[in-house]
Structures are given as C-alpha cells and as structure tokens.
Amino acid sequence: MKKDLILFGPPGAGKGTQGALLADHFGMLRLSTGDVLRDAVRRGTTMGSEAQRYMNAGELVPDEVILGIVRDYLNGEAVNAGVICDGFPRTLPQARKLNHLLGELNRPLFGVIVLRVDDEMLIKRLSGRRSCGACGAVYNVYFEPPRAENVCDSCSGPLTLRPDDEAATVRRRLEVYNEQTAPLVEYYEGASVPIHHVNGDQAVDAVQRDLITLIEK
Ligand code: AP5
C-alpha cells in the first residue's frame, strides 16, 4: 500500500508496537528515527555518540541529524511502498522539511494518526518496557511479560530497561513532547493535512483493528 503516514503520539503511546504491526499487515515500510539512532549508538558511530547524550537526557536530537537520516532513507531506492513515520517529525523544522521532501518525491501524505493515551498509563508502559539487547524484541512486565523474568522468549537474550525509560528521563520526555512536538497537530491542521485521533489506551489488538479500519477507508 503506497500511503505515507505519520504515526504520532507521546512516548509510550504505542507508535513502535503499532507501526511494526501495520508495516507487516499492509506491506509498508516503517521508519523509526529512534530505532535508527539506537542502532547508531550500539554501533558506536559518530552520529550515535552525538545522539546518545541527548537521548539519555530525554532531549531531542538536533534537527540536522534527524533530517539527514530521513533524507537518506526517502531517497533510497527501496522505498516503493508507503512509509510509516514513527517518532518523526517532532519539531516544526522537521515537519516543514518532511513536507518538502515528500513534495519533491511526489508522495502524498495520507495523514497524521495521533495515538491518545493519558500520562499515568504512559508512565506505567515505559517503566514496564523491557527490550532484548540481542534481537530487539520488546516486552512489558505489566502487559506482555516474557515467560522467564528478563529473558527473551525468542532468542534467550537479556532483557533490559531502555536508559531513557528511567523515571526522571520519562518525565522530561513527556515535557519535551508537550512543549515541542504536540503543537505540530496545529501545524498540520493549518496545512489541511487530515488528522485522525485513535484511542491508544486499549489492548494492542483493539488499537490495531482501529488503525487498519481507518487506513483501509
Ligand atoms: P523514540 O524511540 O522515538 O521514542 P518515543 O517517541 O519516546 O517513543 P517510545 O519508543 O518510548 O514509545 P512508543 O510510542 O514507540 O511505544 P511502544 O510501542 O514502544 O525516541 C527516543 C529518543 O530518540 C527521543 O527521546 C529523542 O532523544 C530521540 N529522537 C527520536 N526521534 C527523534 C526526532 N525525530 N527528533 C529528535 N530526536 C529524536 O510501547 C511502549 C511500551 O508499552 C512497550 O513495552 C509496549 O509493549 C507497551 N505497549 C504498547 N502498546 C500497548 C497497549 N496497547 N497496551 C499495553 N501495553 C502496550
């Protein structure tokens, strides 16, 4: 399906979870700027070490770094299917640049899907998230626990808390979202891009059903 869309919402809203399921369901591609940055941190690249200090403090990585990632990705030869933007754009300059890039490539934006979840639930989800250092699988000690504590069901790798899921950093990430990212909804409204609000505070498969119905409309 060739519909580019933005999966939008605060930290822990389920963008990564739902983005992966949608990509699988519709044969779309998912670009998670957070995943690209974490991979760069793991590989110890220059970009990774620059990004790491912002991420661990709960701050946004500078726009130039992010725009470089997105430009390289969209100009890549393999991007024939629709792209799900997960965690991007997060600032006004990023949103403007994305518009420009999509316009140049003649890729119409299907819209922005906002996953709504209240703060108390976001904090619970993030404090309960555990990720596998070996295969990247994601669990949640409250909602989707692994069979054995801190051991990945798929590859038996160790499960850890993301450094930016520590309580103080989560609080800062939520502030940054409210200050710098949430206002983009107004920007897209002003630009007449369709905005769709979806209740993200439901079981994973219920959220997925709502998203599929919306995209298939
Ligand atoms: P990024 O990786 O994008 O993190 P985020 O936006 O803060 O989002 P999360 O990954 O924390 O949450 P999510 O909404 O994907 O939820 P998930 O599905 O994982 O960014 C990290 C950092 O990188 C930023 O802080 C910034 O420093 C930098 N960065 C990235 N992009 C940037 C950009 N464009 N500009 C500047 N800086 C950038 O779910 C969370 C947990 O909840 C999981 O355990 C999951 O299993 C569980 N869960 C999910 N859905 C449900 C459900 N329905 N019910 C119960 N549990 C659920």
65-90 residue pLDDT tens: 999 999 888 887 666 788 999 999 99
Domain that holds residue 198: 4-28+81-118+174-216
Q: How confident is the model over 4-32, as a mean pLDDT? A: 96
Q: Please give the distance, rounded to the nearest whole angstrom, from the Cα atom of residue 16 to the centre of ligand 1.
A: 6
CB 8 within 8 A of CB 185: yes
**What predicted TM-score, i.e. pTM, was given to this entire model?**
0.95
Contact 143 CB / ligand 1 (< 6 Å): yes
Residues 6+ apart with CB under 8 A from 118: 201
Average pLDDT in the chain: 94
Q: How confident is the model over 125-131, as a mean pLDDT? A: 96
Structural domains counted in the chain: 1
Domain annotation covers residue 185? yes
Rounded Cα distance between 68 and 91, Å, is 15
Kindly list the catalytic residues.
15, 90, 129, 162, 173
Q: Please give the distance, rounded to the nearest whole angstrom, from the Cα atom of residue 28 to the centre of ligand 1.
A: 19
pLDDT of residue 49: 95
Task: Say if residue 196's pLDDT is above 80.
Answer: yes
pLDDT of residue 2: 67
Domain annotation covers residue 149? no
